Amino acid sequence: MRTLIDITELQVQALEEIARKEKLSRAAVIRAAVDDYIQRRRRVEIDDAFGLWGDGGIDGLSYQEKVRSEW
């Protein structure tokens, strides 16, 4: 699928340099960059789901024991 985007001249130059060094087309470099961005975003979303207790100061076992003691 084709997509039209606006980028700066510096970005174009940087893409051209990467493409030349890696012997790829500029389009291939852009696709790889988009893939990398998507993977990093997914990783952040997954990482955000872990450690939901955060810095609450109580671990999961202590919380479980506290709740169960109320029964």
Residues 6+ apart with CB under 8 A from 54: none
Domain positions in the chain:
9-69
pLDDT, residue 55, reads 61
pLDDT, residue 41, reads 84
Distances (CA, A) of 42 to 3, 8, 47, 51, 54: 22, 27, 9, 16, 20
Identify whether the C-beta of residue 16 lies closer than 8 Å to the C-beta of residue 7: no
pLDDT, residue 49, reads 65
* Cα–Cα distance, 29 to 19 (Å, whole number): 6
Q: What are phi and psi of 11, to 5 degrees?
A: -65, -40
* Confidence (pTM): 0.60
pLDDT, residue 62, reads 80
Q: What is the pLDDT along the chain (71 residues), one digit of tens a residue?
A: 999 999 999 999 999 999 999 999 999 999 999 999 999 888 777 666 666 555 666 777 887 888 888 87
